[in-house]
Amino acid sequence: MRRISRLFAIPLCLVAVARADDAQKIACGNDSQFQHGAVVCVSQVASEVGAESLKRGGTAIDAAIATAFALAVTYPAAGNIGGGGYMLIVPAGRGESTVIDFREVAPAAATRDMFVDPSARTAHRRVGVPGTVRGLALAHSRHGRLAWRELILPAVKLARDGFALDAAVAGELNKVLGRSDREQFAELHRVYARPDTVAWQPGDRLVQPELARVLEIIANKGPDGFYQGEVAQLIASEMERGGGLVTTNDLEAYQPIARKPLRSTYRDCEILSVPPSSSGGTTLALALNMLENFEPNPSARWSATSQHRMAECMRRAYRERAAYLGDPATTDIPAELMEKSYARRLAGSIDPAKATPSEQLAGELPVTNESEHTTHVSVMDGDGTAVSMTYTLEQAFGSRVVVRGGGFLLNDEMNDFNWLPGVTNNKGRIGTLPNQIAPGKRMLSSMCPVVVRRDGRTLLVSGSPGGRTIVNTVLCVLVNVIDYRMDARAAVDAPRLHHAWFPDEIRIEPSLAKQHPMAVDELRRLGHKILPSRESQGDAHTLAVDPRSRAITAVPDHRVSGGAAGH
């Protein structure tokens, strides 16, 4: 680990914060409550599949795996076998927590400059080597109780017999088909269009026979059924057809990594999240460590002061992300980033009376002035083990490349590398060294599955999709619960904001301006550029555990869709 020499000159005010009440009620009456285990995610059917494995005596890990395979069928925009992600596993009590990093990697033939030429940015070339199946298998080999095959068979059935589309999935399918050229994305249209080619309606059944067959192969042969043999060959042939780089050797070589979770604290809570190759945990810890230096006013969650502080902390945390974070196998990440004193220095440069222009924070990073789906599953079992898992194809439906003969989508995760070496601009493009492309390297993610504990007991399991907004969505939910004593439903429903250093603007969910217009005006007066978020920010399916009764309240985020199940 290397040290950072940059210091911040402006001193700051330090404030101690009162310890939160142990018995804080973070569950709300209207959401489903479960005593022995629960699953919440974007798809009600997939949550039910996960909950069924809990009822059969499976662990939270078994349930997360069964849910993930079901989501690959029922939520094709992001559920996947052709993508990657992170599973955070936190047992009750003193058991050892783990992160399974099943992030995709760049194929062996990838080069640093492979996307400099815009004409080279084709759908097939954006595909990274998928990690999901070996990642889930690693989690199962270490923490599973039920048979692997049993966890996949419900997904096989959903794919083979079909399932009823909800309004969200019907809408997403219509949207992706509408924006995808029929010739270039012929397989996408063949697999996902309604047989009579008219628009999908809620309640219509989507049947995926080829996907059912591939899932059955994985159920019978284990992960090698995906990474070797017929399925690997189908992927490689698809790549060759479209000029993609992933080969059978890349697939054979792919390995997930078990890592130690990133541990930080905020006020009286312990925050467990994911270390690099995701930037999620580190960026979240940086922002929270900065925020800890200011005392929250419990009655002023929506004041300009509170929003200003949050945006300034986000701005600074994302600047550090751009400067230092990348695949730890190739990047020396400074250990100080996680130190409270480091965040205190950063927080010291926040001016309470005005926004700091992002350029002012660039430091040694050259910034030029040049003139944009994922899904989260939260699980808890009867033993108190929590699983927080976020996985993705990158954009909605990934590369939109469906493997011919396989009926499944491939990711476009190569998007997450810094494509233009050296080009960091005020529009938000990052060109810094730590996340430049290299063969076999993991591209930097923002995924941020979290588990929050107090006094050694799990309080909250959360996470979100949303690309670079992910960390800020999680930050908003955590701050709502820990600082502003909201119950989990209110914390999830509350309006969100996002600042990512560049572009130098705050994106707010429209409800923030509607509910708190004066605070938003005041933020403008402080010098912030405020814009409405392009769509709602994130989709944070959350579990909250009552500190006394240990009842689990499942809080689906209704921004997209969502459902919970348990017992």
Residues carrying an active site annotation: 374
Residue whose tokens read 């751009």: 322
Six-digit token string for 245:
């780089």
Six-digit token string for 334:
């400074």
- Contact residue for ligand DON among 31, 381, 394, 557 (CB under 6 A): 394
Other beta carbons within 10 Å of 377 = 31
- Contact residue for ligand DON among 275, 467, 562, 563 (CB under 6 A): 467
Residues 222, 212: Cα–Cα separation, whole Å: 15
Q: Is 473 in the site for ligand DON (CB under 6 A)?
A: no
- Contact residue for ligand DON among 293, 306, 385, 392 (CB under 6 A): 392
In whole angstroms, the minimum distance from the beta carbon of 483 to ligand DON comes to 25
- Cβ contact 164:204 at 8 Å: yes
- Cβ contact 169:175 at 8 Å: no
With CB under 6 A as the contact rule, which of the stretches 1-9, 87-95, 443-451, 554-562 interacts with ligand DON? 443-451
- Contact residue for ligand DON among 416, 483, 493, 509 (CB under 6 A): 416
Q: Is 130 in the site for ligand DON (CB under 6 A)?
A: no
- The β-bridge relationship of strands 530-532 and 506-508 is parallel
Q: Where are the beta strands (DSSP E) in 485-526?
A: 497-498, 506-508
Q: Is 446 in the site for ligand DON (CB under 6 A)?
A: yes
In whole angstroms, the minimum distance from the beta carbon of 278 to ligand DON comes to 7
In whole angstroms, the minimum distance from the beta carbon of 507 to ligand DON comes to 14
Residues 416, 279: Cα–Cα separation, whole Å: 11
With CB under 6 A as the contact rule, which of the stretches 155-163, 203-211, 430-438, 440-448 interacts with ligand DON? 440-448
Q: Is 445 in the site for ligand DON (CB under 6 A)?
A: yes
- Beta-carbon contacts of 551 under 8 Å, excluding residues fewer than 6 positions away, are 27, 33, 34, 35, 545
Q: How many CA atoms lie within 13 A of 144 on its CB side?
A: 21
Q: Is 131 in the site for ligand DON (CB under 6 A)?
A: no
Residue type for position 157: K
In whole angstroms, the minimum distance from the beta carbon of 530 to ligand DON comes to 22
In whole angstroms, the minimum distance from the beta carbon of 55 to ligand DON comes to 30
With CB under 6 A as the contact rule, which of the stretches 25-33, 52-60, 237-245, 460-468 interacts with ligand DON? 460-468
With CB under 6 A as the contact rule, which of the stretches 21-29, 159-167, 381-389, 444-452 interacts with ligand DON? 444-452
Q: Where are the beta strands (DSSP E) in 180-322?
A: 205-206, 257-259, 262-266, 269-273
Q: Is 327 in the site for ligand DON (CB under 6 A)?
A: no
How big is the chain, counted in residues?
567
Q: How many CA atoms lie within 13 A of 96 on its CB side?
A: 8
List residues near ligand DON by CB under 6 A.
373-374, 392, 394, 413, 416, 445-447, 465-467, 470
